[in-house]
Amino acid sequence: MSLALALSHAPERARSVLPGVIVAAALALAAGWIAGGLGEPLSRNPILVAMLFGLLIGNSFACPDALRPGLDFTKRYLLRLAVVLVGFRITMRLFLDLGLMPLGVAAIELVLVVTLLYAIARKLFRLDPEIALLVAVGSAVCGAAAILSMAALMRARDQNAGVAIALITLSGTMALLAYPVIFLNGWLPHLDDRLYGVFVGASIFELAQVYGASFAVSEGALNTATLVKLSKVLMLVPLLLAVGLHFRGRNKAQEAAPIPFPWFIVAFIGVVIVNSEITLNPQLRRIILDVDQFLFLMVMVALGITTHIARLGEAGGAWRLIGVGFVGVVLSAAIAYGALIPFSAAFRAASPSSSASAMLGSQGGRLFASVGCAKCHVPALEGVSGEVRLYSDLLLHDMGPALDDKIVQGDAIGAEWRTAPLVGIRLRERYLHDGRAITLRDAVLAHGGTARIVRDRFFDLGDADRQAILDFVAKL
């Protein structure tokens, strides 16, 4: 009977959700378009642009009540779908290659941030105990999801949960903006792309913010950051159990609250297993990953629209809350980075792709990744016996009119070319499919179509940075 009743209400629920989802999708398209026209560093991080765009709209105009169900649906369910689809980027080998070290770093960061930030918020900033605990848990685990779970367990006031979510969203956005810039400028010594992924997954609050901060650097950083962050989401379960036992111990009459389990992580692991065993058609995989990125854009827009800066004043002492948020970002980053350093050399040495990571860790390699070259010239792909260094995604891309030879081959029209592997390019004297380019600079200049944005970023760099990228490619 209950199932039949739920099905009978399904069309009504769909109608209530649809307006907000449509608005989130439309604004996500606009945010992606805006990101493509911005200069560095925003142009390589459309997720951040979507977040800032949503914050601007949400704090400039009142959100109509008709849009709220769809925006909440986007933040909750479409985020989970987007996380599940990230599994198509990852194989079980990456799980095994990571080992236990990243999980240890994430666990250390979680415990220390919860305890230290709670104490600082209470003793130094004099926050209400309920808000202090919600902010500490949101900073240490997974942002709004952790806050809502803890608030339900504690029977916390809705106002306090809303204030904590607004603070965590805003402070996490600051980390999303800063971390890729800090890493790509070499201000996180001892970290390569994968260790940066561990750092981001352990320290940034929201799942969508982790995606944006790692996607802006490289595919390897994104894959590692996703796995580390999802491990922290799972750690929410024992944390809630411990807190629940503590509260029930203090109040024997308190009704036992259910502990939520993040079942979407099970679906994510299932997709990873499928991706490890079955080789998808490259074009289908590209479509899935493009849809995945668009879902994250929608989530960030919805998160921004529903985050109101004015809420920080509801609990009194907005500057105290902002201070706690800033301390949370700095504390999370400092603990994660400090925990990583002792393991960094051993982790890089044990990594099967350590040589590729080391090259990307050079100045030219970081610039190669930061301008976007590594999005198509992917350093390594998963093979039968492990990772294979190619610097190619082996996919077809529209390269624009300069490379359009008007010849149709199979599914490829004249302007479409499969990404040429860069490994071994040091042995060539001429470049591009017909050898028309005498220098690597000429080859880059011929890029157009979907590569136009990356080409323009390259030529917007200073002479020294452009030469560093060319020197890096010339040694492959």
Minimal CA–CA distance to 117: which of 306, 328, 277?
328
Question: Which range, of 113-122, 136-145, 314-323, 333-342, averages the lowest pLDDT?
Answer: 314-323
**pLDDT classification of 351: cutoffs 50, 70, 90:** low
Looking at residue 39, its pLDDT comes to 56
Torsion of CA 434, 436, 442, 448, to 10 degrees: -50
What is the per-residue pLDDT across 63-107, written as a single tens digit (0 to 9) for each?
A: 888 999 999 999 889 998 998 998 888 877 777 777 788 888 889
Any residues with CB less than 8 A from the CB of 77 and at least 6 apart, and which? none
Residue 322, pLDDT > 80, answer yes
What is the per-residue pLDDT across 264-310, written as a single tens digit (0 to 9) for each?
A: 888 998 988 888 888 777 678 778 888 998 999 999 999 999 888 88
- In sign, the C-alpha dihedral spanning 470, 472, 473, 476 is positive
Residue 236, pLDDT > 80, answer yes
What is the per-residue pLDDT across 368-418, written as a single tens digit (0 to 9) for each?
A: 877 778 878 888 877 666 678 888 888 888 888 888 877 877 777 778 888
| Cα–Cα distance list, 158 to 131, 164, 185, 382 (Å) | 11, 10, 41, 46
As a whole number, the mean pLDDT across the chain is: 82
Residue 4, pLDDT > 80, answer no
Q: Are 53 and 30 in contact (CB under 8 A)?
A: yes
Percent pLDDT > 70 in the chain is 87
Residue 7, pLDDT > 50, answer no
Ramachandran angles phi, psi of 380, nearest 5°: -145, 145
How far is it, in rounded angstroms, from Cα 63 to Cα 55?
Answer: 11
How far is it, in rounded angstroms, from Cα 129 to Cα 468?
Answer: 52
Question: Which range, of 5-19, 67-81, 118-132, 231-245, averages the lowest pLDDT?
Answer: 5-19
3-state secondary structure of 101: helix
How many CB atoms are closer than 10 A to CB 193?
A: 28
Structure letter (DSSP) for residue 111: H
Residue position matching structure tokens 């990953």: 289
**How would you class 281 by CB atoms within 10 Å of its CB: exposed for 0-12, middle for 13-18, buried for 19 or more?**
exposed
How far is it, in rounded angstroms, from Cα 5 to Cα 53?
Answer: 39
Any residues with CB less than 8 A from the CB of 10 and at least 6 apart, and which? none
pTM of the model: 0.73
